[in-house]
Amino acid sequence: MLVMIGLLGFALAAIIALYIGFNGAAVLPEGNLESAFSFDAAIGLFILSIAAIMPLSGLSSRKRAIIRWLFIQGTLYSYAAETIQHFRGINPRFSQAGTIADSIFSALFGLESLLIIVATVLLAIPFFRKGRPETRPLLVLGIRYAFVSTMVAFAGGVSMIVLQGRYMGDAGNLIVLHGLGFHALQALPLLGWLLERANTDGKTARTWIHAGSIAWMITILLIAVQTALGLTAFELTVLPVLAGVMLLVWLAAAAVSVRKLLKSTDGESLFNLLKDRGF
């Protein structure tokens, strides 16, 4: 179900992209279909990541079912509010032109966002419990870092709700922090998965996961400070440049992980499979 709900986000994004191609993104008085496109695709990717992580949580079937339906209900409402409202020309969060009903939909949107936060926290808790079974420890280590990053992303989202907008100061855009925090759900477990598949020595593998994940977290911290100062994250000043350097550290860790995988037995099998199929 989570996979299907995640793929629905990509399907909606594809439909919106097609519409934009023929009619443009602006819908008067305040709708912006580019925002709907990016939101639906982003939350679809988020839910697919959650679907991949959930089986490793160690939760009982009943608890997983509860969390799963929290995600499904919150995500479906979010898709509907974001997509329908923008097509109606209404900002689904901070409308200045909507009716009382639109204000109610906006408030419900905020509540659904909080519901998704609660579901994510409930899913994250078992990954940090002491004494949990050491099942796939490298992948779980990356997931732990990813959940910490996700909490920072949620903090950015809550800040946007409180501020009734995405900007702090003149140019500090919270959506950059928000998005970078959520992409940790793909970037950081990836390190653990690659090194696990490569059968890398445990100590060496953990070193690379820590290095790449800490670099990602430092990037988020630097972007958060830059945003709080009311400055854009896309300027060649000290904090954004340092953030870029930290992302390169994560990229180096990912490159090393890929190299180790390609040198392993699994990597050789993958290489031979691609070669046999003409790649």
For residues 183 and 248, is the Cβ–Cβ distance under 8 A?
no
pLDDT value, residue 42: 94
pLDDT value, residue 168: 87
Query: Residue 218: which pLDDT band, with cuts at 50, 70 and 90?
Result: very high
Each residue's pLDDT tens digit, 254-269: 999 999 888 876 555 6
Q: Does residue 219 surpass a pLDDT of 60? A: yes
Q: Does residue 270 surpass a pLDDT of 60? A: no
Distance CA 92, CA 83 (A): 9
First to last CA, the chain: 33
26 has which bridge partners?
32
Query: Residue 158: which pLDDT band, with cuts at 50, 70 and 90?
Result: confident
Each residue's pLDDT tens digit, 225-238: 999 999 999 998 99
Domain borders along the chain are: 1-135, 136-279
Nearest partner of 171 among 222, 233, 221, judged by Cα: 233
Distance CA 128, CA 107 (A): 32
pTM score, whole prediction: 0.89
Nearest partner of 213 among 239, 177, 242, 184, judged by Cα: 184
Distance CA 1, CA 113 (A): 19
Q: Does residue 16 surpass a pLDDT of 60? A: yes
Q: What is the mean pLDDT of residues 131-159?
A: 89
